[in-house]
Amino acid sequence: MKTYLVTGGAGFIGSNFVLYMLRKHDDIRIVNVDALTYAGNLENLASIEGDDRHVFLHADIRDEKAMSDALATYQPDYVINFAAESHVDRSIADPGIFADTNVMGTVNLLNCCRAAWDDGKGGFGDHRYLQVGTDEVYGTLAIPEKINPDGSPADPEHTDYFRETTPLNPHSPYSASKTSADLFVKAYHDTYGFPAVITRCSNNYGPFQFPEKLIPLMIHNALNHRELPVYGDGLNVRDWLYVDDHCKAIDMVATGGRLGEVYNVGGHNERANIYIVKTIIAEVAKVTGDEAVNEGLIRHVTDRAGHDRRYGMAPDKIREELGWYPETPYEEGIVKTIRWYLDNPEWVDHVTSGSYQEYYARMYDGR
């Protein structure tokens, strides 16, 4: 039985990964470490309550003793680091916490793993560490001259994409912190031979995503007849990746990726933000029959500072080396996601109460 220590495993992608792994593999144990900040939610893991293959530890990756104790107690074969502050708007408001958690937290985790796994002879056995990164470290791409109505490139073969060799060029405090973390992981591999690999994913969506991100925010607001705030002209483009497809990629890279390498994970689902919002309106109106859910709810607000124009990933390397490919087209994934939010109103109510309302007012009122 292999043991995985998963940090940030009560967050959006982390909890989906825990659930995915326990569905797909019978012979594993997951030690789930989460600080339970605003985006960490144990309700995400309610379906595996009582499963003895899952152990939860309430701890922070910045806590050296807690991490060292977890590694000594459970002796994981794999460490998968999801733990991070991840929202660009929050990073613009408070960059320091992003540097502290995303950079120093990662360095602490690396140090603890290195100490626990070092055999004293320059080796680390069969252990592996995977850093979950983001496409935002690459900066921004230009919108192609020819695009489809949904914002995707009309001529994909002659369009620029982010590749693993693309220079790192972060534009927000969030992406700068994730870039720094990736570079520390790379440095530990290059300097100490530490057994690390890095994935960089495009925008995820799916169940359990906290409604400060575009898709769950628009679903939640549409259902409640609230304005749908769209930054600027709404023509910023992102490459959308259904979260289960991402979990599959992490599983494959953790066990089969070449150490010291970076693997881009993208959905080949580029869509403009305004198109995303309009498809959510149409689907929510269709499912609920609510005529008040319409495009009149859209409100264009002042654009985000330093807002990257386009992200587009080339996941050629992971496909060629490991056989991974995204299975979920956006048009299918968005319907599944909307249906999940409609079917889980209690979860939504719990995560959108109290401090969330204060955050929402701070981000959007008066823009």
d(CA 32, CA 54): 7
Q: Among all residues, which ones are annotated catalytic?
A: 135-136, 174
Could you tell me the two tokens for 158?
A: 């002659």
Place of tokens 């530890």: 57
Strand, helix or coil at 171? coil
**Cβ neighbours for 140, distance < 8 A, ≥ 6 positions apart:** 169, 171, 308, 309, 310, 311
Tally Cβ neighbours within 10 Å of residue 98.
Answer: 26
Q: Rg for the chain (alpha carbons), in Å?
A: 20
Q: How many Å is the maximal CA-CA distance in the chain?
A: 68
Asked whether the beta carbons of 140 and 311 are under 8 A apart, the reply is yes
CA 217 to chain centre: 16
d(CA 45, CA 22): 11
Q: What DSSP state is assigned to residue 218?
A: H
d(CA 288, CA 273): 23
Residue-wise DSSP of 48-95 = GTT-TTEEEEE--TT-HHHHHHHHHHH--SEEEE------HHHHHH-H
Q: Please list the residues that pair with 262 across neighbouring strands.
A: 198
d(CA 90, CA 97): 9
**Cβ neighbours for 22, distance < 8 A, ≥ 6 positions apart:** 28, 30, 48, 51, 53, 54
The letter for the amino acid at 358 is: E
Asked whether the beta carbons of 251 and 237 are under 8 A apart, the reply is no
From the list 204, 236, 198, the residue with the least C-alpha distance to 86 is: 204
d(CA 251, CA 6): 12
